[in-house]
Amino acid sequence: MRVYADSLLDLALAITTNWPVYMGCDPNILENAREERDDDLEETVGNAIELAIISKAKRFIKSSPCQKVIDAIWRYVIQLKYRAPPTCIAVANASIRHEAVTL
């Protein structure tokens, strides 16, 4: 996060970009997840902020860079659009909110 801390857009992309949640996990965990869930595990995606919230990673969530992104999402400076992986991020123009740039 320190690498991207100077640019809100780069930081937001780094911690909100989706990846397959079960990628690289232990085969036993993958088997247990398949038994518990009905959906396709390869299609299950998440990002760093979601993972931090679920795992209660308070140190990550309360870090200054992460708080910048959470605050920007809260104030609609950054709008997350979940269409299909990866996440598209739009930065809303501060004066004209309906004109957003989608990356």
Banded pLDDT at 103 (limits 50, 70, 90) = very low
Q: With CA atoms as reference, report the closest residue to 30 among 41, 19, 43, 46.
A: 41
Q: Does 88 or 2 have the greater pLDDT score?
A: 2
Is 90 exceeded by the pLDDT of residue 18? Answer: no
- E strand map for the chain: 19-20, 45-46, 78-81, 88-92, 100-102
Banded pLDDT at 58 (limits 50, 70, 90) = very high
